Amino acid sequence: MMAVSKSRRIDRIDGRTVLFLTLCACLVTFLTTSFLGHGIFTLWICLILCWFGLFRQAIGCFSIYMVALVWLLIEMKYKISVPSPLLLSMVYKLLLPAMPAYLLAKIPSGKLTASLRRMPISTHIMLVLIVMLRFAPTVLHEFGEVREAMKIRGFLKSVGNVLRHPMDTLEYAIVPMVFRSLKIADELAASAIVRGIESPYKKESYYVSRIAVLDCVLIVVSVGAAVCCCLL
């Protein structure tokens, strides 16, 4: 029952709204000059993730965010440089846009395509972006598999071994990754062609794509929060 409710909430939101939230998060990360403003907007995005039922991910992201931020503040105060403040800064700054991007990846691809089709973007660029979004978790999974295979075959037995033969290690990691990714890409292409993606006629979707009250509320509150956080 709970699962049904969660999926319904994600199904109720339009892809363009989540894309807009991602854009807002990126702008806040880029424009905000105070840690407080950045933190407040991150909390807002966390609440949105929780509302969509993604509690574990929201709490995990916010915990990492807080650890990175607090550590960075300590480093800045006491002039410590381990771990690198730039790295901590990158972690806390990237987590904010990563959270709505994760929500974007959770939207069914058919619904996302239907939503983005209403935007003035070239179909090819749109398809590349959607496929990239869908492909990212797959690539991470595949990378893990390749790493396991390399470990089993002894290619990653020691750091010294990797440093002595960096080109060989790169080759052993990249070649299977490319083969596996191309195989998945071909399967995705075949699936999309069977569903008529190359048809020249106007496409309709199973999903209704419209900006509803929920979308308007999220957009308005997020814009207000983004402006306030940037001014803080």
- Which spans of this chain sit near other proteins (rule: CB under 8 A)? 22-23, 26-27, 29-31, 33-35, 72, 75-76, 81, 83-90, 93, 97, 124-125, 127-129, 131-132, 135-136, 139-140, 143, 167, 170-171, 174-175, 177-179, 181-182, 184-186, 188-189, 192-193, 197-198
CB of 186 to other proteins, least distance (A): 7
CB of 156 to other proteins, least distance (A): 15
Cβ atoms 10, 78 nearer than 8 A: no
Q: Which one, 29 or 209, has the nearer CB to other proteins? A: 29
Assign 3-class secondary structure to 97-164. HHHHHHHHHHCCHHHHHHHHCCCCCCHHHHHHHHHHHHHHHHHHHHHHHHHHHHHHCCCCCCHHHHHH
CB of 48 to other proteins, least distance (A): 18
CB of 26 to other proteins, least distance (A): 4
Q: Which one, 23 or 50, has the nearer CB to other proteins? A: 23
Give the torsion sign (CA, 77, 80, 82, 84): positive
Angle, helix 35-51 to helix 85-106, in steps of 10 degrees: 30
